[in-house]
Amino acid sequence: MDRLLLLMCAPSWEDARETIGEAVQRASVPQRLTVGLLLQGEMDEAQRAQARGVRGLNVLSGKEDGIRAFGRFWQGENTVLVVSCDVRFPAQWDTQLLALLREAGEHTALTGFLPWEGDPVDAACAVCATGLEAGKLHFGQGIPMRYASLSHQSAFLNSDFLFAPAAFLQELQAGEDPDFLTAFRKRWKLCTSRLPVLHAQARHVPGDADLTHLTEEGREALADFCAHFGIDWETGTLSPGLREGIFTPDLQVKSKVPLTVRLQEGVRRTLLSASAPDVLCVTSCPDRPEAEKPDALEMARFRRLAGIDSLRLLCFATPECIRTVLFSHPNTLAWKTEHDMPLHGNGSAEDNRRFSVLNRFFLLARAQEKSMDHTHYAWMDFAYLRYPVYEGATLHWDAIAGQKICIGTCEGKMDLSMIVVPAGEVLPLTREISAMCEKHWKEKGCLPEPEDVLWTLAERSSGRFDFVPIPTRGDLFSLTMTLFGEEWGIKRK
């Protein structure tokens, strides 16, 4: 019988008590489980009595994380699970994780960001790199392993979810450099779990790694790591694979859509009302003022969007980009200057950014001129779709395409990566935006902030806009693939 050590850190006993009890009760073989809990605070006598009632539980005090605390708890277990104290365990979680680890192969550790309860994508996300500055590598949530047929290789690990042989933790204990470098130097394979066996109660914020104080072995490993995965240390440029957290040639998840999903989507298509909104999605390439051509990551995300059978998509592309985009999506038109908002701004980087966002409404107007038989026109950023979607998915546009202009809001800020506008509002909106831009230009010599423009328009006409709270940027589209936002507790009018 494989013995398993469950490690977690918690501020207090109360933060971990329910999680530990659930893990023990729902394990398929509780006898194989040992639990190590590292507390930042002290326990009172009543809490110690509760802890003594949990089979196989060892409690210690300390400030280190679960990986650093491994040596204090390990008693010869074969496998180790390091998780945060807010994780929820399903029935037979231990059997499922062990099967995934065996499937991934020898000398492998499973990691990634766990989905949070209610996450519409419901998949573990790869750990990706979002930037390199001043010797610090910043991490983020990369591509989700939605419908993944295997656990894909990763370059980094997440200390809030790590399932690996005990030998891997022993290697990390001995290393003085960031854990991902130690894993790379010792030739361990890191993989993002293809199945979301566990779920977190809240979305976790990725951290960063300080690469300025490495050992000599660490510096050598970093040079090899940069060459292998694609980091230009001088410019801070990261390869598309590192930024997405996956290293397949096309930056796509190798997937196998379950039969149940295919059948479910078939039923949804038959039930879809004939009076459902007819939405034309519009994008441009490039969609950022500093970009000349899309890189491999942006093209991979665009291909996900263009690959959805039921999505009507029109792309405006500059002469430098049109051939690249046409290869992936035939419904692409040449982007001409007469398509743009009349006032371009003062040419500064800030005004170019403002123009790029405000001009989206004018591209919607040009799309309406080209194809007038749609009920709504929706802007979507070129690289909007960050997760895999089944090409036969049924889109329930009723969730976000109503009588109002629909914009997502995340943490109180507008997410203008997707905007849904009723057909009758497209031209009036462009006229009002033009008037406000001209007024602001005369007064201050620059374009106004897009959010300020839209908030002002919303205040002028109550009930004209529908601001929808979303968990993270880029999640508005997910509402078309859920039961009208019920998973997020969003009430649609």
d(CA 95, CA 30): 11
E strand segments, 432-478: 465-469
DSSP string, 59-76: EEE-SS-TTTTHHHH-SS
Domain assignment of residue 336, yes or no:
yes
To the nearest 5 percent, what fractions of the chain are helix, strand and coil?
A: 35, 25, 40
Range of the domain at 205: 4-244
Yes or no: say if 430 and 423 are a contact pair by the CB < 8 Å rule. Answer: no
CA gap 450, 459 in Å, rounded:
14
Distance CA(172)–CA(154), nearest Å, equals 17
Residue at 214: amino acid letter: L
Token pair of 120 as six digits: 């519409």
Q: Do 203 and 352 belong to one domain? A: no
What sign results for the dihedral spanned by CA atoms 133, 137, 143, 148?
positive
Based on the fold, state whether residues 235 and 266 are members of the same structural domain: no
Q: Where are the alpha helices (DSSP H) in 256-410?
A: 259-271, 296-306, 322-328, 349-370
238, 288: one domain: no
Residue entry with tokens 């400030």: 63
Per-residue confidence band for 493, with pLDDT thresholds at 50, 70 and 90: very low
Co-location of 264 and 199 in the same domain:
no
What is the reported pLDDT for 128?
A: 96
Identify whether 250 is part of a domain: no
Peptide bond into 90 cis (omega under 30): no
Q: Provide mean pLDDT across the span 359-368.
A: 96
317 shares a domain with 216 = no
Lowest mean pLDDT among 59-63, 278-282, 297-301, 456-460: 59-63
254 part of a folded domain = no
Side chain identity at residue 121, one-letter code:
V
Q: What is the pLDDT of residue 174?
A: 83
Weakest mean pLDDT among 169-173, 204-208, 226-230: 204-208
Domains: count for the chain: 2
Q: Is residue 224 part of a domain?
A: yes
| Residue 456 backbone dihedrals phi, psi, to 5 degrees | -60, -45
pLDDT for 237 equals: 94
Element of type H or E holding 8:
strand 4-10
| 360 vs 366: CA distance, rounded Å | 10
Amino acid making up residue 345: G
Of the candidates 219, 136, 206, which has an alpha carbon nearest to the alpha carbon of residue 177? 219
Are 213 and 320 in a shared domain?
no
Residues 268 and 190 in one domain: no
Domain match, 181 and 140 both: yes
**Same-domain check for residues 377 and 235:** no
Last residue of a domain, one of 244, 278, 311: 244
Mark whether 318 and 230 lie in a shared domain: no
Q: What's the pTM value of the predicted model, to 2 decimals?
A: 0.86
**Could you tell me the CATH number of the domain that includes residue 231?**
3.90.550.10
CB-based contact 222:132 (threshold 8 Å): no
Question: Does 176 lie in the same domain as 143?
Answer: yes
Domain membership flag for residue 249: no
Are 226 and 302 in a shared domain?
no
Instruction: Answer for the pair 68, 49: CB distance below 8 angstroms, yes or no.
Output: no
What CATH number has the domain bearing residue 409? 3.90.550
Residue 493 maps to a domain: no
Question: Among 213, 244, 275, where does a domain finish?
Answer: 244
Surface-to-core class of residue 7, CB atoms within 10 Å of its CB (0-12 exposed, 13-18 middle, 19+ buried)? buried
Question: pLDDT tens-digit profile of 289-348?
Answer: 767 789 999 999 999 999 999 999 999 999 999 999 999 999 999 998 888 899 988 889
Tell me if 374 is assigned to some domain. Answer: yes
Between 92 and 118, whose confidence is greater?
A: 92
pLDDT of residue 472: 84
The two structure tokens encoding residue 97: 């994780």
Whose tokens are 């508005």? That residue is 476
253 located within any domain: no
**Tens digit of pLDDT for each residue in 370-420?**
999 999 999 999 999 998 889 998 899 999 999 999 999 998 899 999 999
**Which of 150, 180, 22 lies closest to 92 in space, CA to CA?**
22
Helix (H, G, I), strand (E, B) or coil at 203: coil
| Highest mean pLDDT (candidates 16-20, 266-270, 343-347) | 16-20
